[in-house]
Amino acid sequence: MLKLPKALLCAATLALGVSGFAQAADPIVIKFAHVVADGTPKGQGANLFKKLAEERLPGKVRVEVYPNSSLFGDGKEMEALLLGDVQLLAPSLAKFEQYTKKVQIFDLPFLFDNIAAVDRFQHGPQGKELLTSMEDKNILGLAYWHNGLKQLSANKPLREPKDARGLKFRVQASSVLEEQFKAVRANPRKMSFAEVYQGLQTGVVNGTENTWSNYESQKVHEVQKYFTESDHGLIDYMVITNAKFWKGLPADVRGPLEEIMAEVSIEVNKQAEALNQSSKQKIIDAKTSEIIELTPEQRAEWREAMRPVWEKFQGEIGADLIKAAEESNKAS
Ligand code: LMR
């Protein structure tokens, strides 16, 4: 056997040991991609998750946040999650229909009276069940994050459903939302979020629906003359991960990350409404557009025109689930 001087052996062992240690200590990298700006409820939530995860798990976890579709945009992000190219996403609840028909419930127009009702449904048994409803496809829901209720926008005033007739509206990739606009005899067009500003600017579409924070952060008020405060639907998110990746994390990392996610979710959900109101104020201050308030009668007309959409999707979503969501409008 080759005889090595003791000092050399010691140094070799030490070097091996050190490099072995360095390898074991490499942080787990979690890429969190999303399509909106930093100043929105989701953007702030992603940044807070990064801050708390890196503070509480120093050296163990590194979180890289990619806002504004800078890593993956709509259409590609779910595929990337399944391929392991990104570990966290928070797509709007309108973007899951390829994976489950049940989550379509959140797109039904005029389903929830307010965000408190949404909260009750998401945290009730049926809402919680939806988080794990895509596990067979390797997608695990970790939390719901609010953005808020949607408002309509167009280059003409929308007061009654007939005002929308014939207009082209951008919608998210959701069959329910397509039907919602068809119900008022408008033409829906699916388009990724990153394309909205240009689509409106060039007239590929004439109007859209979104929350105040998404409108303001995308400068939609520069290319739309009118907003209608309709509160007709919801933009909320499911924070999702690759189920195999998440379950494969060491317990002393996964546990704290789940606690942090719960904490961040409370914070996002507390701040979302205030962020939307401050964005609405910025749109008012910019003076480039007009905000239309509906009378109760006008709002009832929109509701009546869009409600038939429910029946179309009741089979896919499930009457029981819809009933549970409606029940959540009653304060507990
Ligand atoms: C949209 O596409 O309008 C929204 O889903 C964007 C978002 O993530 O809030």
Ligand 1 centroid to residue 221 C-alpha, Å: 16
Residue 165: strand, helix, or coil: coil
Please, are residues 88 and 241 in contact by the beta-carbon 8 Å criterion?
Answer: yes
- Say what the pLDDT of residue 22 is: 45
Dump pLDDT digits (tens) for 135-170. Answer: 999 999 999 999 999 999 999 999 999 999 999 999
Query: Looking at the predicted structure, is the pLDDT value of residue 18 above 60?
Result: no
- Say what the pLDDT of residue 24 is: 57
Residues 6+ apart with CB under 8 A from 190: 170, 171, 172, 173, 174, 178
Q: Domain residue spans in the chain?
A: 26-327
Q: Which ranges in 35-174 belong to alpha helices (H)? A: 41-56, 77-83, 115-123, 125-131
- Say what the pLDDT of residue 331 is: 80
Q: Is the CB of 151 under 6 A from ligand 1?
A: no
Residues 6+ apart with CB under 8 A from 87: 29, 30, 31, 32, 81, 241, 242, 245
Which pLDDT band holds residue 332 (cuts at 50, 70, 90)? low
Residues 101-111 have a mean pLDDT of 98
Show the beta-strand stretches assigned E in the chain: 28-33, 61-66, 88-89, 139-149, 151-154, 168-171, 187-190, 207-210, 226-229, 234-242, 290-293
Residue 241: strand, helix, or coil: strand
Closest CA to 167 of 231, 226, 106: 226
Q: What is Dmax (Cα atoms) for the chain?
A: 95
Q: Is the CB of 92 under 6 A from ligand 1?
A: yes
Closest CA to 193 of 271, 92, 289, 288: 92
Q: Whose CA is nearest to atom 1 of ligand 1?
A: 193
Dump pLDDT digits (tens) for 27-50. Answer: 999 999 999 999 999 999 999 999
Amino acid at 71: L
Ligand 1 centroid to residue 238 C-alpha, Å: 12
Dump pLDDT digits (tens) for 219-261. Answer: 999 999 999 999 999 999 999 999 999 999 999 999 999 999 9
CATH number, domain 26-327: 3.40.190.170
Q: Is the CB of 147 under 6 A from ligand 1?
A: yes
Q: Which residue has the tokens 């459903």?
A: 161
Query: Looking at the predicted structure, is the pLDDT value of residue 21 above 90?
Result: no
